Structure 1
Amino acid sequence: MGSFIWIPVVLLVIFTILSGVFIVKQQTAVLIETFGKFTSVRQSGIQFKIPFVQRIAARIGLKIQQLDVIIETKTLDDVFVKLKVSVQYVVIREKVYDAYYKLEYPHEQITSYVFDVVRAEVPKMKLDDVFVKKDDIAIAVKSELQEAMLDYGFDIIKTLVTDIDPDPQVKEAMNRINASERQKTAAQFEGDAARILIVEKAKAEAESKRLQGQGIADQRREIARGLEESVEVLNKVGINSQEASALIVVTQHYDTLQSIGEETNTNLILLPNSPQAGSDMLNNMVASFTASNMIGESMKKTNKPKIKE
C-alpha cells in the first residue's frame, strides 16, 4: 500500500523537473522572468528555469526581418505618388531587453518614422527627381530610423525604395511624352539617313561624271593618236596631210551612216545626211586647210627678222 503512495509523488517530481527544461532555437533569444520580474536572457541550446517560479516571458527572433511600408504623398509638381519602402532590420543581440520591454509595437514605430521622412523629402522633389533620387530617399529614411530605433534595441540594416507608382493619368501622360520623344528621335535619325543618302548619291554622281569625262578624254586622245597614225600611213603612199585628213573625215561620215542603217530602233539622225554631204564636207575641209596654210605662210613672212647691211 505504501509503494502506491510514492508513485504519484515520483511522477509529480519528474513532471516538475521536466517543466523546468526548455530548448532555445538558433537565432532566438528567450527572456526569463522570476515572479514577473526580468531575470535573464537565454541563448540557443538546452536551458533550465525554476518551475512555478520562473517563466518564459517572450521569445525574440534574431534573424533579419523586413517590413514593407506603402506611403502616398505629393511631389513638388503636385503629382500624387505611392512609394513602397522596404525596411530590413534586426534585433541587436545585446539589447534584447530593450527590444522587448521598451517598445511594444516595433512595426508601427518603424512605419511612423518612414511616413514622416518620406512625406518630408518627396514634396521637395519633382516627379522625375523622385525616380532619379530614390536612393537619396532611402538613405534619408535609414539615417532617421537608425538614430531612433537604436535606443530600442533595433539595428536598421538597409532601406530600399522598391516601387514608385504615380497616378494612372500621370503615367499615361508620361508614356505619351516618352512616345513623342522617341518618335522625334526616330524622325531625326531618318532625316540624317536621308541626308547622308543624298550626299553620298551626289558624291557618286560627281565621281561618275569625273570618270566619264576622263573616259571621254582618253577616247579622244586615242582617236587623235589613231588619226595621226592614219595620216602617217597615207603620207607614205603619196597622199599629203590635207588630203589624208579629208579622206579620213569622209570615211568616218559614211561609216556613221552605215552604222545608223544597221540599227532598226535607233533615234539618231545625222545632219546633213544627203549623198552630197560628203563632197561638201570634203571641199569645205580642203578650203579650210588651204586658207590655214596661206595664213600661216603670211605670218611667217611678216615675222621674219630683217638683216642689217
Structure 2
Amino acid sequence: MFGQHPKAIIIDQDPAMKKAIEQVFPQTVHRCCEWHVMRKAREHLGLVYSTKEGFQKELFSCIDGSITIEEFEMRWIGMLQKFDLYDNKHLQFMWSNRHQWVPAYFRDTFFAVMCTSQCSESINVVTKIWVDNHTSIYKFVLQIEKVIETQYDKEDEEDYRMRGGEVKLYSYNPIEVQARDIYTKRNFFEFKEQLRLISGHSLLELEKNSLYKTTAIHNPTMTYTISVNRLAEKVSCNCKMFEFTGLLCSHILKVLHYIGIYSIPSHYILKRWAENAQRRSFNIQSIQHEAMGDSLHAKAIRSNVKQEI
C-alpha cells in the first residue's frame, strides 16, 4: 500500500493479532469479524437457543438492528432481563468485548459494506491450493504473484460484464440519472434500491431547513433523524449508512428530494465506487518500484487506483 496504513482491518478474535495491530497500525480501526463472533456464540449458547424460545431471534435483532450505541446497549440489557440471562458467562464475555465487534460501534467508519473477514479468508483458501509448508520463499513469491494475477483477471472480466448495456431507470428523478452515469453498475443497483425505499418512508420536518425525521410506514418504530446544512450541502443521518458504505441512504435521499436537491453533492461521491475509478492518474516516479519490476508495478498502481486516499 506504498506506506499507507489501512483505514480499517477486520480479523477474528485472535489476541496476538489484536496486540500487533495496535502496535503497528495505531490509527487503524480494528474490528472483529461478526461471523466468527456469532459462530462462537452458537457453540456456547446452543442450550440457551433451544430452551429460551425467541432468544436467538432477539439476539440477532439486537446486534444487527440497533442503529446507535445507546440503542444497542439498552436493547441488550432488556434482552438479558427478559430471558433472565444476567449470569450467562458467554453473554458477559460478548458484552465486555462489544466495542470490538458490534456494528453500532463502527457506523462512523468506512468498511465498504464489509462486516466479516470472509473476503480475506477466501484468498487464504486459494493461496493454500498453491503453496504448502514445504514451499520455498522464492517459489512462494512466484505462486502468490500467480494468485494475484488470477484475481486481476477475474476483476477485469467482471468489469467488462458490468460495462455492457445501459441500466433502466427506476424513476424520473435526475439524481438517479446522475448516479447511473457515475457509479459502477453494481453500486448503481445499490443506490437505486435506496431510491426505491423512499416510497416506504414518511417525512416530518422538525426544524425548518435543518432537521428532519423519516419513519418507515410498515414499521413506525423505525425512525431516523437527518440533519441538513443547506449552505454547505451537508446532510447526515443517524443510520450512518454513508459513513459505513459510502452510499447515501434512503432517508437522506428522501430529505434531498423534499428540499429540492436533485443531484448528489460531489463530496458524497466516493471515487472508489465510480465507474472511472481506474482512470485516475498517478505520478509513477514518486513511488519506489525498482525492486518490483514494470509488470508488477503496473498492477500495484492499478490496485492503488481503487483506494480512497
Write 1 or 2 for the structure with the bigger share of helix.
1
TM-score (norm 1): 0.22
Determine which structure has the larger strand proportion and give its number.
Answer: 1
> Bigger relative contact order, structure 1 or 2, given CA contacts below 8 A and separation 6+?
2
TM-score (norm 2): 0.22
